[in-house]
Each structure stands twice: as C-alpha cells, then as structure tokens.
Structure 1
Amino acid sequence: MSANKTTATKMDVAAFIRSSDPKKVEDSFTLVALMERLSGEKATMWGPSIIGFGKYHYKYASGREGDMCRIGFSPRKDKFSLYVLDCDEKDQLALVKDLGKVTMTVSCIYFKKLADLDMGVLEKLITLSLERTKVKWG
C-alpha cells in the first residue's frame, strides 16, 4: 500500500495563508479563528495546502490506515475547500442546504467566499462534524 500523501507538516500556517490568493487571506484567517475555537486545536498544515485542526487515526476494512485532521480547509485558487466528515448524512445535508452558495462532494464543501455562507450554519456543521469524527474514530 502506498503512503498517505496528506500528513501533518511543520509549515507555517500564517505564511501559507499570506502566500495564497490575496482575495482569500482575510477569510482564511477568519476560518482559522473559527475552527480553532470550535475544535480547541491550533491550526496545522497538512500536506502543502490543507489547514487542519486536530487529528484522528483511521483504519479501513481494506487495511489502509493513517492520520488526518478532524476538520480543515484549503484556500484553493478558484474556491475554498472545506473538509468535514460525513457531510452526506441526512442532518448534515440539511445544514449544507442552508449554508449558502456551495457545491459539495462526499466530504468536501466548496465555496468562493465566507460572505456567501451563513456563519451560524457553518458553525453547526463544523461542530457536528467534530462530534461525528470523535464518535467514529475516537
């Protein structure tokens, strides 16, 4: 089995944010503050472009295992990527519908700017994801 490409690094989060798209800098620092408050964890770089908070160890039935951040985001060139666990569950899907202008995949939500989101709904979604990750992976 190949090694996981996304692992925690010692890269400086603030320096990474300042080097990203200038239109995303303020929103990125706002997300860092929000996620640090909700998770109780300091921001850490995961791989070259994901800002993560906390970590958990997973092991799939296939035998693949590794560590990943409990929640995270990345200020990608076109859109932000928000990484949460199990956002395909019914209650989280309902929250995503109320979140604002987003698109999504199984565990990733994409948006252009925080102004497009309902921040109260975002907090609920992140909190629920943190709770689910703890229940599922410890």
Structure 2
Amino acid sequence: MNTKEQIKEYIDSQDEPKHADMLALHQIILKTLPEGKLWFLDGTDDTGKVVSNPSIGYGQFTIYYKDGSTKEFYQIGISGNTSGISVYIMGLEDKKYLPQNFGTTIGKANVTGYCIKFKKLKDINIDILEEAIRSGVEQTSSKPAPLE
C-alpha cells in the first residue's frame, strides 16, 4: 500500500465527526503545501511496538542532532487521538512561538511548543490554523531544525 492509500485508510478509519475534520484538515494542508512530501507513520517502532498514534505528515526538513547525525522528518503532521485532533508544527526553534502568536486567537485549543490540539475543527479559527501552518513551514524551510 502506498502512502496516499495509507493516509486514505487512516482517515476513513476515523469515526464522525473526526473523519470529516481530518479530511478537511488534510485538504487544507495539501493546499498549503501542494508540492510537499507526504508521510504516513503508523505509530509503531522498528520492533512493531505501538509507541504513538498514527500520523500523517506533510513537507520535509532535516533535523540536526548534537552528535552530527541527521534525520529527515515532516514539517506538519496531523493525528487523531482520544480527545480530538492534534496538528504538529515541527522544528520550530522558539518553543514559545505558537502559544504566544496563536494561543489566544485560534479558539478552543491547547497550544504548546509544537502542537495545536482541539476537539473539533469547528472549535477553532481555520484561518489562524492555516497561518500557524504557513509560518511553521516558512521557518523550517529556511534554516536547520533545532537540536532535540
């Protein structure tokens, strides 16, 4: 199964209204990153053990580690969870950037250093979410990711 098929299967596996919300988010992010690489992570590690919720990724940037190694990863990710949906904006250098710039205007969401979590898409301002995504992509397209 290719990445697009895995993404479709994952979105289709979600119950309503999460299914409709994730499909809408998928379309919004594809519009924002039309040439971006698509990723699907099934949530398992190399041994097959479940370590996280499955996630869909968009775009690509390089993470640089202190030991000199690197890893390619997605810039934007979405994942369904038990309480709603998480949107990940990866590689931001300033962990206060999202909460300070979008935390009070996005609506009913929990905004952390790299994650915007909400129950339903209707609870948040989509234009603000798109702005946060565009800003994150711009930041991680122009310079290396921070060391983890």
User: TM-score, normalised to structure 2's length?
Assistant: 0.76
Aligned to 1:71: 76
8 Å Cα contact 2:98/2:111 also seen in 1: no
User: Corresponding residue for 2:42?
Assistant: 47
Residues 63-102 of structure 1: pairs in structure 2 closer than 5 A: 63-85=68-90, 86=92, 88-90=95-97, 93-102=100-109
Please identify runs of 4+ aligned residues in structure 1 that moved more than 3 A: 89-92
How far is the alpha carbon of 1:90 from its aligned partner? 4.0
Deviations 1:102-135 (A, max 9, x none): 1133211211011011111111111000001111
What is the DSSP-based 3-state SS (H/G/I as helix, E as strand, rest coil) of the residue aligned with 1:99?
coil
Structure 1: unaligned runs, 5 residues or longer: 1-8
Count of residue pairs brought into register by the alignment: 130
Distance 1:70 1:79 in 2: 20
Aligned with residue 57 of structure 1, among 41, 59, 62: 62
Stretches of structure 2 lacking an aligned partner (at least 5 in a row):
44-53
Aligned to 2:11: 17
| Residue 107 (structure 1) aligns with | 114
Aligned CA RMSD, in angstroms, stands at 2.3
